[in-house]
């Protein structure tokens, strides 16, 4: 059996030369962002001069190491630029230095995972599995999951800004730093079981503030309680889609924004500012091979919308990738509803972070009966049905009443 340490040693990180000119894209220059959304920055940013990855100093210390933008700088807005200038909030708002530092280290981890996922030397690891008590054999973590988990944990440790990390790959949370201001919940590599077929995968994360009122409790207890916060307390959340492009989609509490990894510079560049999901779409995303296991309400809803007999007179199309991040990304851009009607997806690691992201984009997130962000988690690996998408589509689906699948015969692939 391959050891994680051996796998880690075999990884290579893509180096991004700066001599290659970036492609001509419809990007958002930093000047435009600061003029239309953000307050003017106090200093320019030379993105190639970021502090070392192990540096846990404040963002001000990071910024102090940078020089002003040179005359040949493209001026486009990176994730760190964006967060450091308010994160999409109204003029004069700020997300705080600690959160900017945390995001810098988190995006670095995701760049490493993107390189790992795309490597021809590591793709076969997706077929292997390791023993775990956290789920079924079908959902058992693969070496790629474990390596991705270790990459994220290492980056969060180096940030110096995280008290505890709770991961879908771990049975219990990992306490990192007593005075870390943030709590991070994460699904390190969603969809990894299909990676050998080059199906898109993703990382999902949520960020909470540490509950200082729990500081007096034993480590194990405060680690778990900090990780079981209700979704409406999230400070930030997002996902990274590893596909034909690597896209980091994030909300810092002021809208939803997407950044695309530029391979010529190694930077996440703002490409989708202030995403607004259409109020109604024309696409539903679900594994309808399970149609005969669905409750009557869900079957009736699907039958109705694909015949064009619902509230929208247009016939709906089915689009299903079987990769949660990829299906949701398409839904954010085009509208409609992405769903898993059975108790399968985890509230803490998938439901809450994605629900916050969707609502910040003007969409709706439900378990078929309740708003996701209003549900109080009681277990770290608590599962639930999940319906994400356009407000009118999710509301119409809920109106059919019985849409949660209770029959679960145990599907195998």
Following CA atoms 154, 268, 254, 320 in sequence, which dihedral angle do they give, to the nearest 10 degrees? -90
Q: Is 350 an active-site residue?
A: yes
79/270 Cα distance (integer angstroms): 7
Task: Classify strands 246-251 and 236-242 as parallel, antiparallel or unpaired.
Answer: antiparallel
**Distance of alpha carbon 118 from alpha carbon 129, whole angstroms:** 19
- Three-class DSSP labels, 360-392: HCCCEEECCCCEHHHCCCCCCCCEEEEEEECHH
Q: Is 307 helix (H, G, I), strand (E, B) or coil?
A: coil
Report which DSSP code applies to 331: H
**Active-site residue, from 189, 252, 324, 397:** 189
d(CA 28, CA 65): 25
* Separation of alpha carbons 255 and 359, rounded Å: 9
What is the spatial distance between Cα 38 and Cα 61, in angstroms, rounded to a whole number? 21
Active-site hit among 350, 359, 392, 393: 350
* DSSP, residue by residue, 157-187: HHHT-EEEEEETT-SS-EE--TT--EEEEEE
Q: Decide if 196 is catalytic.
A: no
Instruction: Estimate the share of the chain in helix, then strand, then coil, as percent rounded to the nearest 5.
Output: 35, 20, 45
81, 97, 190, 267: which one is catalytic?
190
Question: Quick count: other Cβ atoms within 10 Å of Cβ 199?
Answer: 16
Is 190 an active-site residue?
yes
Do 186 and 150 touch, CB atoms closer than 8 A?
no
Residue 412 is among the residues annotated as catalytic for this protein: no
Determine phi and psi for 258, rounding to 5 degrees: -120, 140
Contact 304, 396 (CB under 8 A): no
Name beta bridge partners: 260.
247, 269
Catalytic position from the list 55, 73, 139, 371: 139
- The yes-or-no answer on residue 187 being catalytic is yes
The phi and psi torsions of 257 (rounded to 5 degrees) equal -135, 145
Catalytic residue check, 262:
no
Catalytic residue among 145, 170, 367, 393: 145
Catalytic residue among 168, 224, 262, 327: 168
Cite the beta strand spans of 293-334 per DSSP E: 317-318
Which residues belong to the active site?
139, 145, 168-169, 187, 189-190, 350
């Amino acid at each position: 059996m391959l050891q994680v340490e051996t796998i880690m040693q075999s990884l290579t990180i893509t180096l991004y030369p700066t001599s290659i000119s970036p492609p001509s894209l419809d990007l958002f220059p930093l000047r435009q962002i600061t003029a239309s959304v953000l307050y003017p920055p106090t200093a320019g940013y030379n993105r190639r001069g970021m502090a070392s990855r192990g540096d846990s100093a404040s963002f001000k210390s990071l910024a102090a190491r940078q020089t002003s933008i040179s005359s040949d700088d493209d001026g486009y807005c990176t994730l760190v630029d964006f967060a450091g200038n308010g994160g999409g909030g109204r003029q004069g708002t700020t997300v705080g230095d600690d959160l900017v530092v945390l995001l810098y280290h988190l995006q670095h981890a995701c760049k490493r995972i993107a390189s790992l996922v795309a490597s021809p030397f590591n793709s076969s690891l997706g077929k292997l599995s390791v023993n775990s008590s956290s789920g079924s054999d079908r959902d058992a973590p693969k070496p790629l999951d474990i390596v991705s988990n270790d990459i994220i944990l290492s980056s969060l440790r180096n940030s110096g800004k995280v008290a505890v990390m709770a991961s879908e790959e771990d049975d219990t949370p990992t306490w990192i730093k007593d005075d870390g201001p943030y709590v991070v919940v994460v699904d390190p590599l969603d969809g990894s079981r299909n990676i050998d077929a080059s199906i898109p995968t993703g990382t999902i994360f949520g960020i909470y503030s540490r509950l200082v009122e729990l500081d007096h409790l034993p480590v194990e207890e405060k680690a778990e309680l900090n990780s079981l916060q209700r979704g409406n307390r999230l400070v930030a959340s997002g996902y990274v889609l590893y596909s034909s492009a690597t896209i980091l989609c994030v909300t810092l509490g002021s809208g939803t924004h997407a950044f695309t990894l530029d391979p010529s510079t190694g930077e996440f560049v703002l490409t989708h500012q202030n995403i607004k999901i259409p109020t109604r779409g024309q696409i539903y995303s679900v594994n309808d091979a399970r149609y005969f296991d669905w409750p009557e309400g869900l079957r009736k809803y699907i039958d109705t919308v694909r015949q064009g007999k619902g509230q929208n007179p247009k016939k709906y199309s089915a689009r299903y990738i079987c990769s949660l991040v990829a299906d949701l990304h398409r839904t954010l851009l085009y509208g409609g509803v992405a769903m898993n009607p059975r108790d399968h997806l985890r509230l803490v690691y998938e439901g809450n972070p994605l629900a916050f992201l969707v609502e910040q984009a003007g969409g709706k997130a439900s378990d078929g009966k309740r708003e996701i962000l209003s549900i109080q988690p009681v277990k770290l690996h608590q599962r639930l049905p999940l319906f994400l998408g356009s407000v009118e589509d999710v509301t119409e689906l809920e109106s059919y009443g019985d849409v949660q699948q209770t029959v679960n015969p145990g599907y195998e692939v």
